[in-house]
Amino acid sequence: MVLGQLGGSITRALQQMSNATIIDEKVVSECLNEISRALLQADVQFKMVRDMQANIKRIVNPDDLAAGHNKRRIMQKAVFDELCRILDPGKPSYTPKKGKTSIIMFVGLQGSGKTTTCTKYAHYHQKKGWKPALVCADTFRAGAFDQLKQNATKAKIPFYGSYMESDPVKIAAEGVERFKQENCDLIIVDTSGRHKQEAALFEEMRQVSEATKPDLVIFVMDSSIGQAAFDQAQAFKQSVSVGAVIVTKMDGHAKGGGALSAVAATKSPVIFIGTGEHMHEFEVFDVKPFVSRLLGMGDWSGFMDKIHEVVPTDQQPELLQKLSEGSFTMRLMYEQFQNMLKMGPIGQVFSMLPGFSSELMPKGHEKESQAKIKRYMTMMDSMTNDELDSTNPKLMNESRMLRIARGSGRSVREVVDMMEEFKRLAKIWSKMKGLKIPKKGDMSALSRNMNAQQMSKALPPQVLKQVGGMGGLQNLMKQMGNKDLGGMFGGER
């Protein structure tokens, strides 16, 4: 996801600013210009960038920054708050209730990923015990019904559609009625698209909406549409009452900044993002952890969740223990690579760590990354046990590297690359040193009600320092809500 680069650019701009000897208005302006450039490159709408720049300038007072405060943190917080403000329209979207019928209508242009997203949305809820159903009211694209039927059958979700009927309004109304009678609690209506915004499409949306009376209209947007996002979202909002946004294809080379524009145009929150073509490649969207990750501030709660989700249960205690020790060895890297190859998404675990973009296994480049990881593992197969268990990369002198390259049939350059990767991962790993791992029975004690004082004692000193000491922690807890930080310790959510 190119959005990751935005985080990198902003972090660099902040770093440059805090390196300056005197922080005056000029330095702050330069930093803001740099951040604005990065946002524009990520396809955030020009007007929004300009407003954001003006807002930050108002909030951040260079005199404050000069007076020995942590300048980088003040600016980072201002950027964080502004991005959150844009992404959070201030009111939550309609939330369907399990057991009570809700009608959800999906709208979007052709190819935005609407049909795929309808099924993902149904599947997501079905896994949580809902009784979803899909209605195909797309009579415009030949093959749309077949696609929905195929997806629905695969996911074992009831569906309704017709090969004969050409009136989408009629199909939508019939389908909704049928599933109401069958007591489905989530009736999802997939609608037609067009290649571009057309009056006929908007009229059709208006009529389908009138006939089905949806509780929520979700606007589906392809994240790669760039600057067009604002106008497109606004055009849909003007014909039907869009209440939420789902941004698809966040896995590709999309710049993703359009998501911010879509929220601004519809005044509705992003509720999910699509991260691939498969059914499970669908994530709940949370503003604060998202922005936090974007700015390289790390997403601690997401990190621990991912460990629970991705790492096999029997390996979790050992992995957490090793994290708490902070010592990273070649053997540990080898084991993580094994998991990564077996399970695919473990790279996501690392991407949650501050400063670590999923460079090792970027989305969309899985094949190349897997081949690279396999090459690394072949090289590690040529290492001695001492080398594998050592935390000291200096053991690997030139002659050992030559020997490993020869033994594994790879070049010395590749061995050097692997060692660089090891050092990079070890550095990230070391940040978790001292992490307190609760014993089974202690979980509740570390739960969401923990106050900043208790939390500061539980946190490893490095982590506490990283969040800006006690003050920073209090702010972070305020920003994220205790439950998110509680989640970091495996507390019940």
Ligand X SMILES: Nc1nc2c(ncn2[C@@H]2O[C@H](COP(=O)(O)OP(=O)(O)OP(=O)(O)O)[C@@H](O)[C@H]2O)c(=O)[nH]1
Residues that bind ligand X (CB under 6 A): 108, 110-116, 138, 141, 144, 147, 193, 248-249, 251-252, 274-277
What is the DSSP secondary structure assignment for residue 190, as one 8-state letter? E
Least distance from C-beta 289 to ligand X, angstroms? 19
Contacts of residue 400, defined as CB under 8 A and 6 or more positions apart, other chains included, come to: 387
Q: Which is nearer to ligand X, 141 or 375 (CB)?
A: 141
Q: Which is nearer to ligand X, 368 or 420 (CB)?
A: 368
Least distance from C-beta 364 to ligand X, angstroms? 8
Q: Which is nearer to ligand X, 80 or 219 (CB)?
A: 219
- Measuring CA to CA, how many Å separate 143 from each of 27, 136, 138, 271? 57, 11, 9, 28
DSSP 16-31: HHHHSSS--HHHHHHH
DSSP 241-308: -EEEEEEE-TTSS---THHHHHHHHHT--EEEEE-SSSTT-EEE--HHHHHHHHTT---HHHHHHHHH
Q: Which is nearer to ligand X, 286 or 484 (CB)?
A: 286
Residue with tokens 């571009």: 196
Least distance from C-beta 191 to ligand X, angstroms? 8
3-state secondary structure of 466: helix
Cβ–Cβ under 8 Å, residues 179 and 133: yes
Q: Which is nearer to ligand X, 144 or 455 (CB)?
A: 144
**Count of other CB atoms within 10 angstroms of residue 258:** 27
Least distance from C-beta 221 to ligand X, angstroms? 10
Sign of the C-alpha dihedral, residues 31, 34, 40, 46? Answer: positive
Q: Which is nearer to ligand X, 107 or 332 (CB)?
A: 107
Least distance from C-beta 371 to ligand X, angstroms? 21
Supply 409's token pair. Answer: 């049939």
Least distance from C-beta 253 to ligand X, angstroms? 10
Least distance from C-beta 159 to ligand X, angstroms? 14
Least distance from C-beta 39 to ligand X, angstroms? 23
Q: Which is nearer to ligand X, 214 or 276 (CB)?
A: 276
Least distance from C-beta 275 to ligand X, angstroms? 6
Q: Which is nearer to ligand X, 200 or 412 (CB)?
A: 200
Supply 130's token pair. Answer: 């809902």
Q: Which is nearer to ligand X, 57 or 149 (CB)?
A: 149
Q: What are phi and psi of 27, to 5 degrees?
A: -65, -40
- The Cα 106–Cα 92 span in angstroms is 18
Q: Which is nearer to ligand X, 144 or 263 (CB)?
A: 144
Contacts of residue 81, defined as CB under 8 A and 6 or more positions apart, other chains included, come to: 59
- Measuring CA to CA, how many Å separate 436 from each of 303, 452, 457, 474? 15, 15, 9, 19
Least distance from C-beta 479 to ligand X, angstroms? 28
Q: What are phi and psi of 306, to 5 degrees?
A: -65, -40
Contacts of residue 170, defined as CB under 8 A and 6 or more positions apart, other chains included, come to: none
